């Protein structure tokens, strides 16, 4: 059984930017990214700890990224 790697907010942001997402705006500790064509919006919480597994998977789902592709 494989374990889910831990991801920080910075690592998730790098992953999103590699796939064409750009920072749209910041509201408090949440960074909102939009896809290059504006069809998808992803919110990434910026905290000084690893993201919970469910939050990480939700971000991938919002971005349309298959978790097996990372």
- pLDDT tens digits for 15-38? 999 999 999 999 999 999 999 998
Domain boundaries, the chain: 25-69
Q: What tokens were used for 53?
A: 């597994």
Contact 51, 16 (CB under 8 A): no
| pTM: predicted TM-score of the whole model, two decimal places | 0.85
CATH of 25-69, one of 3.40.190.10, 3.40.1010.20, 3.40.50.2000, 3.30.920.30: 3.30.920.30
pLDDT band (50, 70, 90) for residue 3: low
Contact 47, 35 (CB under 8 A): no
């Amino acid at each position: 059984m494989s374990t889910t790697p831990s991801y920080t907010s910075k690592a998730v942001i790098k992953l999103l930017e590699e796939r064409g997402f750009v920072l749209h705006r910041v509201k408090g500790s949440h960074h909102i990214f939009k896809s290059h064509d504006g069809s998808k919006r992803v919110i990434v919480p910026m905290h000084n700890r690893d993201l919970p597994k469910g939050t990480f998977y939700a971000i991938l789902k919002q971005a349309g990224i298959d978790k097996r592709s990372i």
